[in-house]
Amino acid sequence: MKTTIKKTSKLSLAILISAALSFSSCNKFLDEKPSKSSDLVVTTTDQLDALLNRYQTFYSEGNRTAIYSTDDYNFTKQIYDARPATFGMAAVEFALWDIEYLQDDTRENFWKNEYTKIFNANMVLENLSRVSGSQADKDRLKADAHLIRAYSYLTLVDTYCLPYTESNKNEPGLPIKLTTSFEESTARAPLHAVYTQIESDLAEASKANVPLVQQGRARHWRANTAAVNGLAARYYLIRNDYNKALDFASKALSEYSTFVDYNTNMRYGRSSTVNINTGTPNAETVTLQFPYTHDNQTDFTDMLQWKEFLYFRMLNHESWWYVPSQELIDLYDKNNDLRYEYHFVEGYSYDRGMTKPAYDWPGYVFFYKDRIPSGPTVAEMTLIKAECQARLDQVSAAMTTVNTLRAKRMKPGAWVDLQASNKDEAIKKVLEERRREMPYTQRWSDIRRFNNNDYAGDDVLLTRSFYPYNASTVQADQAIKTYQLPKDSRRFAVPIPRTEIISSQGAIVQNTY
């Protein structure tokens, strides 16, 4: 922990702000910036504002559990055998819910990166009383910092800790860092204390009452009331509190409910050609067709302009291939669902090197090859509202709500409107729509809460068949094994990187299994 939570002087904060100012992409989205200075002393709210305007510091979530560990991800003997070099050991370990080797993966940076965001939020909070500026600006910055901290703690606790239940509430939670001092304890607080801290941060973030749309422009990358209500809706859904989740989702939608209509707002972007089976009788050139959101990896314009965002966050995949499982693929109406048309790139396996012999499998692509929206969106709020209505036995209302989303995702026709005759059918149809809309980003969190609520119809048993493996090698010469993650497994708490335990001098304790 000491490698990521460090004592910081005014000068080091100034260096961070100076770095923030050096980013010039999407300038039209940012307010006027102060000049760069290598010896800047932090004295104004404008300087703190510049730090938080550095969306590149905060937007990315490299959560490999979300990418590899659910039934949305295809990890089979067949796809591995097609080109073993495509899949590193991290993919193997996360896909098979490893305990023994994963904690020594030195490239597992999700914990560190989220605590870095928390550290930056704490820097802002500590400096607010020392800088000049209006009270309104200070209140706005305070809301930003509390929302950043709440968001990071929620993603961390939903990954590295057991799901919250009455029986689990005293299990190890997270180190709660509320200052920048390296002397602050790094011991893991009880699970219930982490959730209490998230609620507290959300309450503080809501006080500024900053709207998402300001002067006709949606500022998705900064704190706003729609984002706070959206994250609160997600939080209470995770807690299986459907009344509160419904209330906050409805509040978010009452402020901002703009959809991207896939019938009119989506198009194809760049295409790519790949030669497969070169030098054989089956040689051919294949064209891969990508959505327009794929066009530019480095330009943030499309991402910042994605008008469904309440809060700008992206799941980021280091290996550039969200491999959809057959189970996920089969959920889509391939003829009429425009999400399948635009986000599933046929033959994407060729792009990842499976060209000789050719192995054909699609990839899920949203923003370029590595990024999927993971922050609260209008679509997510609509699905939370529909799910809560279904679970509260408001069947007709649930179908009406979910169909407002489908109308923006499907080609026009009779297939748009889902119908349900009872509560169980409504829950099933809404959850299938949720999975179609948000693969990877929310599935791990969903499985955790499904397996810990009082509705048996939700239970998910994760199973894979694959080779044995050790810390460095897949043992492909040995017999296939069956790997499972039962609903009551303690492995729903991901192993904490051992480097963090060592740097804390043992204050952080590892999960027990």
* 168, 192, 209 - which closes a domain: 209
Same domain, 267 and 181: no
* 188, 209, 230 - which closes a domain: 209
Q: Comparing C-alpha atoms, which of 60, 54, 59 is closest to residue 24?
A: 54
Residue 41 confidence class, pLDDT cut points 50, 70, 90? confident
Rounded (5°) CA angle 395-399-400: 115
Alpha-carbon span 382 to 496, nearest angstrom: 33
Domain count, the chain: 3
Same domain, 87 and 116: no
- Whole-number Cα distances in Å, 327 to 33, 87, 98: 48, 20, 22
Alpha-carbon span 391 to 393, nearest angstrom: 5
Same domain, 99 and 146: no
Q: Comparing C-alpha atoms, which of 281, 127, 143 is closest to residue 212?
A: 143
Tell how many helices (H) and how many strands (E) occur in the chain: 20, 11
- Encoding tokens for residue 333? 């109406």
Same domain, 301 and 368: yes
- The DSSP result for 374-427, as a single string, is -S-BHHHHHHHHHHHHHHTT-HHHHHHHHHHHHTTTB-SSTTSS---SSHHHHH
Alpha-carbon span 205 to 222, nearest angstrom: 11
Same domain, 162 and 247: no
pLDDT digit string, tens, across residues 355-412? 999 999 999 999 999 999 999 999 999 999 999 999 999 999 999 999 999 999 999 9
Q: In the predicted model, what is the mean pLDDT of residues 46-70?
A: 96
The CATH number covering residue 168 comes to 1.25.40.390
Same domain, 216 and 199: no
* 158, 191, 209 - which closes a domain: 209
Asked whether residue 446 is domain-assigned, the answer is no
Alpha-carbon span 156 to 175, nearest angstrom: 10
SS3 165: coil
pLDDT digit string, tens, across residues 261-293? 999 999 999 999 999 999 999 999 999 999 999
24 CB-near residues (< 8 Å, 6+ apart) = none
For residue 258, how many other CB atoms are within 10 A of its CB? Answer: 12
Query: What is the structure's pLDDT at 40?
Result: 59
> Domain residues for 171?
7-62+109-209
pLDDT greater at residue 107 or residue 384: 384
Q: In the predicted model, what is the mean pLDDT of residues 215-236?
A: 97
Same domain, 92 and 140: no
Asked whether residue 410 is domain-assigned, the answer is yes
- Encoding tokens for residue 406? 């489908």
Cβ contact 466:80 at 8 Å:
yes
- Residue 215 identity: Q
Asked whether residue 247 is domain-assigned, the answer is yes
Cβ contact 348:365 at 8 Å:
yes
Element (DSSP H or E) covering residue 290: strand 284-291
Name the β-bridge partners of 276: 284
Query: What is the structure's pLDDT at 42?
Result: 84
Alpha-carbon span 180 to 505, nearest angstrom: 18
For residue 122, how many other CB atoms are within 10 A of its CB? Answer: 21
Q: In the predicted model, what is the mean pLDDT of residues 196-210?
A: 97
Rounded (5°) CA angle 42-45-48: 65
